[in-house]
Amino acid sequence: MILINNLKSEGSRILPINTVKGSVNVGEQSKGTSQMATIEMIAHATSIGADAIVDVKYASTSAMSKSSKFIAYGTAVKFV
């Protein structure tokens, strides 16, 4: 799986498939959460037949409780 933030398509067609995401609940320990969320996002993209994920972004959410969530998301694409 290829993660691309700036895609310049020269001669190939790229078809967007769907938005994909991976999320991890963050407790007391936040080490490795971005990697775990990225792995989950890649698994999602692979399951729908994507060749790459473009415009990857990361975000985190927090609530008033101790729990929060780390999210990786992007657009799954297919090269044709």
**7-65 pLDDT per residue, tens:** 555 566 878 888 888 888 776 556 678 888 888 999 999 999 998 888 888 888 776 66
Domains belonging to the chain, first-starting first, are 15-79 (3.30.110.70)
Give 44-48's long-range contacts (Cβ < 8 A, gap of 24+). Answer: 44/20, 44/76, 45/1, 45/17, 45/20, 45/74, 45/76, 46/1, 48/17, 48/18, 48/20, 48/76
Q: Indicate the pTM of the whole model.
A: 0.76
